[in-house]
Amino acid sequence: MDGLAGLFALVYAAEQQSYVGAARVAGISPSAIGKSIARLEGRLGVRLFNRTTRSISLTEEGAVLYERYKRIIDDMQDAEAGILRSRQRPTGRLRVSVPHIVGHHLLMPILPMFAARFPEIELDIDFEDRVVDLVAEGLDAVVRSGELADARLIARHLGEQHFVVCGSADYLDRRGRPQTPNDLSGHACIHFKYPSSGRIAPWSFRDPYERLLLPKSLTFNNTDAGLRAAQDGLGLAHLPVYVAQPHIRAGNLVPVLTAFMAPFGSLSLVWPSNRQLSPKVRAFVDFVVENFAARPEAFRPAAHWSR
């Protein structure tokens, strides 16, 4: 600490050519400047300033030391300025985790706009269907479905998730259109299982059908595979509306049982509460919320758009 005091005292005194001027820049007393320089001279065993009653000037040794000390101070100031700039504009590596289906169908389409708007952010995105530990794994933000039970986390609501049961027109011509969820007992049902646990995802029917046992004709651990199977006429699939909707509008899939569907749970963008919301995280959070809000149909019950 004494060395740092001497470093600043020498540089300020050399530039101001007086202890009084150096003290004004440093915000301390002239005597404190003089004592720091005296201690520095004593430690080095050389005289650093030529002193007169009116002014001071560097000795040869002082000039050498000034050049080195000046570079150190400039580097320190550059480092601090860089930190201030990074706090003012979004920059740096941003680690994010999203479920596969959300990442592919909701996040990927908007990433080009994000990259164009924030070119100094380096995105590092994991596609994970397991529940990750943000704090332990050093993640900046995750997209998570369901209720937020961890007090260490803060969340921004993205929307309510809704699903739709659908199949190809060819399949429905062959097997008939179910009128209630009970009719699914006579159909081929395409299921999704969570890759991390192997658990079969339930279909989101309203009471009294929410615990309905459904036949398992096909099971995939990938939603896009279930989508393809439904399009190919292999059965009825239970799909997020934002996955199924483009294919329903294109005529590749036909929705059924829309009046019986219940919300599947909320979708949120989550980050650790014990970390300051840096510009890069704030930029990502605000951008995702803004662009998800611009797609209300992605979070609208199927019964509202499939009639």
pLDDT in tens, 50-94: 988 788 999 999 999 999 998 898 888 878 766 766 666 788 899
**pLDDT score, position 87:** 64
199 Cα distance to chain centroid: 27
**For residue 250, what are the contacts with CB-CB under 8 A and spacing of at least 6?**
none
Using the predicted structure, report yes or no on whether residue 228 has a pLDDT greater than 60. Answer: yes
Task: Report the alpha-carbon distance of residue 177 to residue 180 in Å, rounded.
Answer: 9
| Cα distance between residue 111 and residue 124, in whole Å | 12
Residue with the bigger pLDDT between 201 and 275: it is 201
pLDDT value of residue 91: 86
DSSP letters, 241-298, are HHHHHHHHHTTS-EEE-GGGB---EEEEEEEETTS---HHHHHHHHHHHHHHHT-GGG
Output the pLDDT for position 307.
42
CA angle 275, 157, 106 (to 5 degrees): 100
Rounded Cα–Cα distance for residues 100 and 307 (Å) = 29
Q: Please write the tens of the pLDDT for every residue from 146-187.
A: 766 666 778 888 988 899 999 999 999 999 999 999 999 999
Per-residue pLDDT at 29? 92
pLDDT at 275 over 60: no
- Percent of the chain surpassing pLDDT 90: 56
Under the phi-then-psi rule, with left for phi > 0, alpha for psi from -120 to 50, and beta for the rest, what region is 160? beta
Count of C-beta atoms within a 10 Å radius of residue 138: 9
- Token couple for 191: 């299921």
Residue 274 pLDDT level (bands cut at 50, 70, 90) = low
